[in-house]
Chain A
């Protein structure tokens, strides 16, 4: 263990003294405060904070990822290429110990920098209200919609398979698939039908009602608030681009099942602009004791258009503190760094520096957009192409971690709760499986390769 630490300490010295880390640190030290001062967003406090966290954290993550890759690859390849490894590996140290020492060094450095810069971002964010002088309304808005970790509940996807099957049957019976579906594969037609039916379920004609029911709603503070997030789409745009709406919040079972559940219901009337995300705040007391909560929406007769909730609504409530959420978001970034360090070490064991770094960066960027890549396969038209791709590229991309799927920004910016279970899953997949696999591969390669250059 002591020799592992010796190698680790040496690796950190290398990164620090060769000024690899210095450039990245300077960049961040300059850019982060600059961003904090210049981030405007929509000019409210919340908007500025969201912009700053979004850019600041993604920049920190990007730079630290690159730094980790570079240091990991460099420390291994330079030792081999400059042959310092001759004198190191002939000392009483096993090869796996050497490699683990290198990994430990790289990770300690990355961790230290991550803590420093995440801490810097956190400090800037927490002290922002002191130097930005927000209005009290802005402050409340920021408190409710940024300085918190809200659990987001989405209603379950409606099951429309039956309707889709009926619709398809009708199409087949009519013997004419019509203009819309001409030239589409049956798979695509199904997809289209499903989407249409789903939207139909979320559409309210004038005077009609939609109902969403949520189970297991457990706000952290029973005297706090719930937030219903929605976005109105219309088929006919009203002259002022705003729509009227009537809502009922609370224990709807009393109406629905005609049982005296003793629950409370709160009616609200609103007028909101269309096509922007709106949040309606209601008291958390409305939640029934068993965690039941319903939202009923009535398309106000004052409107002249059907209203479509294309993205469905979300129920948000404060479930944890901003600090805890921020720490978990940092942990997710740390998982990325662990993976990249293992990747760098692995490639460094058998490739030269330029090749290894190129390879790693390609992998890194693929992993950053892998969710998008995988999704895009679902939109391929030809079925044979799908088959070919899903067994080759999709499989390969599937091996990579999906950095974009669990981006911490997706949680921090809308102040959504990043639960421990999500973090746990990321740790399991990225660190325990994929990183470990790479590390083991690296250990095997390194244990069996010849370390000396061939000189005759």
Chain B
């Protein structure tokens, strides 16, 4: 099996001015990232994450060893055409506006003018910067620059996406969207290498992780395997009666085990997103200009963008993906307001698991509640989506039908 990224004894030693070897930034690193995997490279500051990425991309020369991306050298144009890269900060040309920036990168990928135009608009929509697309990116805040950086990395619909600290400078909503995006890309068969020290991000989206310290891998494996406490079990239920709890406690005691009953805390992230979504709902008219308030539309637009990208890729893999839309659908349909929370929970539990750790992760964040708690903004979102779908020629036929058909969210963020 071909790995998406493979390194062989990759070593980088920084020497001082006299050529004396000073720092082992990366030390004998052997990394194998499977295709169609979200891989998290974790580590504290200065642990060699960024250096590794730069060596993968040919920005730094390894002192020893070598690395392969998609089976070859990443500096080969044939390979780099299939890679998307977001550096640790969005280094943009300050004098270009958002649209020109994306156009420039699109040209570097030798995309046709028509393709470029469609993708740029879709991406701008997706990152919520359409309203400020004609402003020089030099005037952008860090978060906005980050969004453009992300759009830039996606313009070629990459097979391998390398993200270095993608969520720095982003607000929680933006962070959440990037995470959703990563998961979606993985579902479409892409490989993502995520490099971060923000553990929550990594935990939510990664299939496998490696923890780097001092340029060496200290631990690696599946997130589920590394984190699962096999000596404990957790049961989450709806708000059931005290009697029922009593009964369950008795059953547990019969097993000679200890049992604690609490109401689960909502995650701060979830709470934050809900609060903003509500506020946004109230000030819909005035908020059109500011990018962050367009976030509501973003997720939906995001999917459209994806589908457009899909169609644009007129290669055989596109046909394979025809089977996938039901998988990507849930992100939109989770907004369906009329279904009640019980059903969602149920469906979540019964969802055919992609991999065991996904359930673990989903359960941990409880993202289903996010959608169900505030149905109205999502409703609005859905209508926007439909409108946009009508405007777009290609996905027109397929999408609305799927919207109606799918049952309430298979999983919140799967």
Contacts and interface: CB of A to CB of B under 8 A. Distances in A.
Given A451-B59, A455-B50, A90 B74 contact: yes
Given A87-B87, A91-B109, A454-B14, A10 B104 contact: yes
Interface stretch (B29-37, B75-83, B225-233, B292-300): B75-83
A91 B152 CA distance: 10
A92 B91 contact: no
A6 B108 contact: yes
A75 to B, nearest CB: 11
Interface residues of B, number: 38
B80 A92 contact: yes
Interface string A83-97: 111111111111000
A91 B81 CA distance: 6
A2 interface: yes
B58 A90 contact: yes
A450 B23 contact: no
Contacts of B152: 87
Contacts of A388: none
A76 to B, nearest CB: 14
Contacts of B80: 90-93
Contacts of A302: none
A23 to B, nearest CB: 15
A94 B87 contact: no
Interface stretch (B92-100, B180-188, B249-257, B342-350): B92-100
A86 B93 CA distance: 12
A86 B81 CA distance: 15
Contacts of B23: 456
Contacts of B104: 6, 9-10
Contacts of A14: 93, 95
Contacts of A5: 107
B60 interface: yes
B390 interface: no
Given A3-B110, A454-B14, A86 B59 contact: yes
A16 B53 CA distance: 34
B107 A3 contact: yes
B392 interface: no
A6 B101 CA distance: 11
A6 B105 CA distance: 8
Contacts of B277: none
A182 interface: no
A82 interface: yes
Interface in A12-37: 13-14, 17-18
Contact of B46 (A7, A84, A450, A456): A456
Nearest to B136: A17
Residue of A18, A94, A452 contacting most chain B CB atoms (<10 Å): A452
Interface in A248-304: none
B87 to A, nearest CB: 5
Contacts of A17: 95-96, 136
Nearest to A16: B95
A10 B81 CA distance: 20
B25 interface: yes
Contact of B81 (A18, A85, A92): A92
Given A87-B91, A456-B46, A6 B107 contact: yes
B88 to A, nearest CB: 8
Contacts of B89: 83
Contacts, number: 89
Nearest to A82: B91
B5 interface: no
Contact of A456 (B14, B108, B109, B136): B14
Interface in A441-456: 450-452, 454-456
B85 interface: yes
B110 A452 contact: no
Contacts of A450: 59-61
A345 to B, nearest CB: 18
A415 to B, nearest CB: 44
A83 B100 CA distance: 18
Interface string A301-342: 000000000000000000000000000000000000000000
Interface string B7-32: 00000001000000001010000000
A454 B25 CA distance: 10
Contact of A3 (B50, B93, B96, B108): B108
B65 to A, nearest CB: 16
A454 B22 CA distance: 12
Contacts of B81: 91-92
B44 to A, nearest CB: 12
A88 B95 contact: no
A2 B48 CA distance: 35
Contact of B51 (A3, A9, A92, A456): A456
B57 interface: yes
B220 interface: no
Contacts of B107: 2-3, 5-6, 9
A92 B85 CA distance: 12
Contacts of A455: 50-51
Contact of A90 (B85, B96, B149): B85
Contacts of A9: 104, 107
Contacts of B85: 86-87, 90
Interface string A124-144: 000000000000000000000
Contacts of B78: 92
A451 B81 CA distance: 19
Contacts of A87: 85, 87, 91-92, 105, 149, 152-153
A9 B92 CA distance: 16
> What are the nearest 5 A-B pairs in CB distance?
A6-B107, A92-B77, A17-B95, A452-B59, A91-B108
Given A91-B80, A94-B77, 14 more contacts: A2-B107, A13-B100, A17-B136, A83-B87, A84-B91, A84-B92, A85-B91, A87-B85, A87-B153, A90-B80, A90-B83, A92-B81, A452-B59, A454-B60
13 contacts: A2-B110, A3-B110, A6-B107, A10-B104, A14-B93, A84-B92, A86-B85, A87-B85, A92-B78, A92-B110, A93-B77, A455-B50, A456-B46
Interface of B: 14, 23, 25, 46, 48, 50-51, 54, 57-61, 74, 77-78, 80-81, 83, 85, 87, 89, 91-93, 95-96, 100, 104-105, 107-110, 136, 149, 152-153
